[in-house]
Amino acid sequence: MAILVNKQSKIIVQGITGSEGSFHAQQCYEYGQNVVGGVTPGKGGTRVLDANLPVFNTCVEAKAATGANVSLIFVPPLFARDAILEAIDAKIELIVCITEGIPVQDMIQVQRALLGSGSRLIGPNCPGLLTPGEAKVGIMPGFIARPGRVGVISKSGTLTYEAVHQLVGVGLGQSTCVGIGGDPIIGTKMIDVLQLFQNDPDTDAIVLIGEIGGSMEIEAAHYVKESVSKPVIGFIAGQTAPPGRRMGHAGAIVSGADESAAAKKRVMASCGILVVDSPAHIGQTVADALNRVRA
């Protein structure tokens, strides 16, 4: 079992005729054979890629023709808001937006539209999702992962890949890897994914990768203490970042003491999360935690 995406997912790609969209749509199709079409206004009726996939003018048309329940978005920042809103209007269940640099004001409108819509947004500014052996929705390199029982949640794409590498190195696979994105406003937060993994009978442990700035990791830590019974292994990036300096993601800026890496690590540890000081320790720490649970 997996969360959010699996072999039965039917994926459309908004922006499939662009260079980024076409490249990654092909990669996703080759991984799981569950990309069923794409959307580019004005190019409906054409076909693209080696899989000869149909292109539609709108998400509504694409869903009606293919039964799509997942949309992967590769469009420029100034058009991303409208692409997300179009997918929401089409009642697409899961929307994954890779685009970075979307104006905050646009994301505020998206956030309002998501309320009560029945759609879930992953991202923006994220690597997407990967359920090893079943479905790839985004830009994560599928070949580094293997099917297993460890869920991964991360704000950082590259640290997601490193966590997967460390897990595979100690013989552990992943149930699903979820890159939630590092922008100030995102669609799905750490708490949301923690709940999904907690309720997934085929996930035995969870890796939680955060960074400086914001309060999401602290909120997630308190949720773990109250509601998560599975081992959670945590890492916070940006331990050497100076206060007030943005480091990498738009949301990674320390504006108060409780948002520093040290403060977040203290709170996480106090809530029962096994905090590591280096991503190189993630794999072995997860393995040790699972061995203790099974002993």
Residues contacting 211, CB < 8 A, separation 6+: 155, 156, 182, 217, 236, 237, 238, 247, 248, 249, 251, 252, 261
Closest C-alpha to 92, from 112, 106, 72 = 72
- Report residue 23 as tokens: 């490249």
From the options 3.40.50.720, 3.40.50.12780, 2.30.29.30, 3.40.50.300, give the CATH code of 11-122: 3.40.50.720
pLDDT tens per residue, range 57-91 = 999 999 999 999 999 999 999 999 999 999 999 99
Whether residue 252 is predicted with pLDDT greater than 50 in this model: the reply is: no
Mean pLDDT calculated for residue range 173-190: 96
From the candidates 24, 222, 249, 281, which is the catalytic residue? 249
Domain pair 11-122 / 128-294, same fold: yes
Is the pLDDT higher at 265 or at 260?
265
Q: Is 249 a catalytic residue?
A: yes
User: Average per-residue pLDDT in the chain?
Assistant: 93
From the options 3.40.1390.10, 3.40.50.150, 3.40.190.10, 3.40.50.261, give the CATH code of 128-294: 3.40.50.261
The structural domains of the chain, with segments of one domain joined by +, span 11-122, 128-294
Closest C-alpha to 123, from 155, 152, 91, 151 = 155
The pLDDT of residue 242 is 60
- pLDDT-based confidence at residue 284 (cuts at 50, 70, 90): very high
Closest C-alpha to 84, from 70, 95, 94 = 95
pTM over 0.85: yes
